[in-house]
């Protein structure tokens, strides 16, 4: 049994923390809002601050929305760094800037502690099912120490390289997801406007080389118009912004990523920041003056 800290109990963090509790670990938690009653009933111990979590835990996991949130959780006056002592490990499972991650790691390392960046893919469904893909950057010894906890939250767990490499892998993942959503959306809009049944077109494509998890899951969302968020457009916008910002810093052109971001921007402008990211198709439908379902 380990002493674990968990900070950030949102849509993803709450089920991830719940799965750690199922592993019979002692869990010390902190979040900006109220700690969910389900976690407290399962044995989680609420802490008043990130510093208190760090004092109580040997491994501190952070799961918050964006780079500024991670920096605040780690380095504010009552942040995690204020409660760390040498030998502890900080694991950031948020999806944030790869460049900032390297800086955060250096600052935590200077306190005599290890740092892992371990962003995830799989959304709320994967968090609940403990089937997340976890992409890890950091030292091998720290990864080996934390891996039993990763196993409680995910299935496909890979140590990619050093600090920052986990985050750049997540950025790459989000590029592929966004561009595949866009491709599926274009294909189904074209098919529907041509008069074909988009549901049957999707079914046919799933038997061929064009098949993908996105065609299967998000293609169905597009056909059935079920855009309640599993992963919100505003969060995917954040991830693509990380991709485009990192690309500018490295002198890399990402033309189709920029196009996908503009389609998300169009959705957000029509009140869709909170839609599921599969609703990118709505921007394509507006340009085609035709909805798939019609």
Active-site residue list: 170
Question: If you ran DSSP here, which 8-state letter would residue 236 be given?
Answer: H
Distance (Å, whole) CA 17 – CA 47: 14
Helix (H), strand (E) at residue 288: helix 281-288
Check the CA dihedral 137-138-142-143 and report its sign. positive
Distance (Å, whole) CA 148 – CA 20: 10
CB 56, CB 28: distance < 8 Å: yes
Check the CA dihedral 219-276-121-183 and report its sign. positive
Nearest alpha-carbon partner for 177 in 147, 133, 207, 144 = 133
Q: Which two tokens stand for residue 2?
A: 């380990």
Could you give the 3-state DSSP secondary structure of residue 159? strand
Spell out where 12-162 has E strands.
26-30, 45-46, 59-62, 89-92, 114-117, 120-121, 132-137, 154-161
Distances (CA, A) of 10 to 26, 31, 272: 20, 8, 20
107 phi, psi to nearest 5 deg: -70, -35
CB 135, CB 166: distance < 8 Å: yes
């Amino acid at each position: 049994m380990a002493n674990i800290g968990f900070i950030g109990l949102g849509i993803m963090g709450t089920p991830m923390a719940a799965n750690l509790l199922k592993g019979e670990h002692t869990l010390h938690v902190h979040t900006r809002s109220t700690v969910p009653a389900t976690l407290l009933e399962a044995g989680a111990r609420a802490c008043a601050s990130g510093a208190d979590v760090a004092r109580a835990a040997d491994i501190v996991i952070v799961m918050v929305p964006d780079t500024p949130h991670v920096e605040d959780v780690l380095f504010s006056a009552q942040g995690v760094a204020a409660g760390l002592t040498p030998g502890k490990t900080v694991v950031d499972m948020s999806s944030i800037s790869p460049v900032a991650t390297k800086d955060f790691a250096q600052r935590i390392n200077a306190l005599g502690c290890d740092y892992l960046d371990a962003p995830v893919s799989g959304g709320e469904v994967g968090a609940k099912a403990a089937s997340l893909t976890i992409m890890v950057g950091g030292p091998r010894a720290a990864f080996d120490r934390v891996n039993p906890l990763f196993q409680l939250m995910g299935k496909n767990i890979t140590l990619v390289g050093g600090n920052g490499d986990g985050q750049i892998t997540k950025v790459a993942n989000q590029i592929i997801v966004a561009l595949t959503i866009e491709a599926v959306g274009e294909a189904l809009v074209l098919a529907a406007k041509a008069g074909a049944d988009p549901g049957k077109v999707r079914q046919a494509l799933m038997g061929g080389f064009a098949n993908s998890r996105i065609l299967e899951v998000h293609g169905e969302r597009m056909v059935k118009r079920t855009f309640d968020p599993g992963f919100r457009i505003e969060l995917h916008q954040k991830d693509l912004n990380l991709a485009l910002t990192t690309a500018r810093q490295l002198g890399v052109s990402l033309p189709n990523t920029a196009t996908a971001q503009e389609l998300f921007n169009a959705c957000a402008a029509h009140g869709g920041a909170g839609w599921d990211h599969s609703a990118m198709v709505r921007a394509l439908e507006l340009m085609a003056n035709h909805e798939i379902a019609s």
